[in-house]
């Protein structure tokens, strides 16, 4: 499968940095407040088999870590952790298919902002990761419209095309433990 190359990986990283700033501005959060929702981003080459999924630009996995303390009487403290699993091949195929209309940079910015908003909403309890399919569909629509509004903070004509073209192609990931 096609993976991001040496120029595309830093481009994806920059998209996430820019998306973090935008999401913070839009929701009036500090960077620390956003990062309290633990998450990381991985490209296709670094994904586990079960994190690879065709058809979506990105796949969000939620993991719960249980850390047992040395003294068993303290019990254990666990935390949730999100991994944004980028499906490089699906993203690159979409850019190819769209010819000159859709460029990788604005598409990546859209994907990044969209996934960060999911993480933020799941992490803060505004949305339930384990919700039934119907509820997830509504959540998907809401996240799409929040993403579009957040991206309005940057003027970028290519972005409008991206949000028009690809609105329907995102899907929430399954739960992976
Ligand atoms: Zn989504």
Q: Is residue 162 within a helix (H) or strand (E), and if so which, with residue range?
A: helix 157-166
147 CA → ligand 1 middle, Å: 10
| Nearest of 93, 113, 96, 122 to residue 156 by alpha carbon | 113
Higher pLDDT, 36 or 175: 36
Higher pLDDT, 100 or 79: 79
118 CA → ligand 1 middle, Å: 7
| pLDDT above 70 as % of the chain | 84
176 CA → ligand 1 middle, Å: 16
Q: How far apart are CA 122 and CA 167, in angstroms?
A: 20
170 CA → ligand 1 middle, Å: 5
Starting at the edge strand found earlier in the chain, the sheet holding 76-86 runs 39-42, 76-86, 58-68
């Amino acid at each position: 499968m096609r993976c991001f190359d040496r120029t595309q990986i830093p481009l994806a990283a920059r998209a996430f940095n820019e998306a973090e700033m935008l999401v913070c501005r839009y929701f009036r959060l500090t960077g620390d407040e956003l990062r309290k929702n633990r998450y990381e981003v991985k490209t296709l080459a670094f994904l586990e088999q079960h994190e690879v999924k065709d058809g979506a630009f990105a796949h969000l996995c939620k993991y719960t870590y249980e850390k047992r303390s040395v003294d068993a009487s303290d019990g254990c403290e666990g935390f949730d952790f999100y991994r944004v699993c980028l499906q490089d091949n699906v993203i690159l195929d979409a850019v190819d298919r769209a010819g000159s209309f859709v460029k990788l940079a604005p598409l990546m910015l859209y994907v990044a902002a969209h996934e960060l908003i999911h993480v933020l909403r799941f992490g803060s309890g505004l949305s339930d990761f384990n919700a039934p399919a119907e509820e997830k569909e509504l959540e998907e629509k809401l996240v799409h419209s929040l993403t579009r509004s957040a991206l309005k903070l940057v003027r970028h004509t290519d972005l409008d095309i991206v949000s028009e073209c690809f609105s329907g192609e995102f899907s929430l990931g399954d739960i992976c433990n």
